[in-house]
Amino acid sequence: MAYTHTNSKGVTYYLNSKEVTLRGGKVQRIYYFSKDERPETIDAVPEGMVVNENPRNGFLTVKREAK
Cα 64 to chain center, whole Å?
Answer: 11
Q: What is the phi/psi pair of residue 51, to 5°?
A: -85, 135
pLDDT by residue for the chain (67 residues), tens only, comes to 899 999 999 999 999 999 999 999 999 999 999 999 999 999 999 999 999 999 999 999 999 998 7
The candidate with the shortest Cα–Cα distance to 32, out of 19, 46, 50, 17, is 17
The candidate with the shortest Cα–Cα distance to 11, out of 44, 41, 39, 36, is 36
**What residue ranges do the domains of the chain occupy?**
4-64
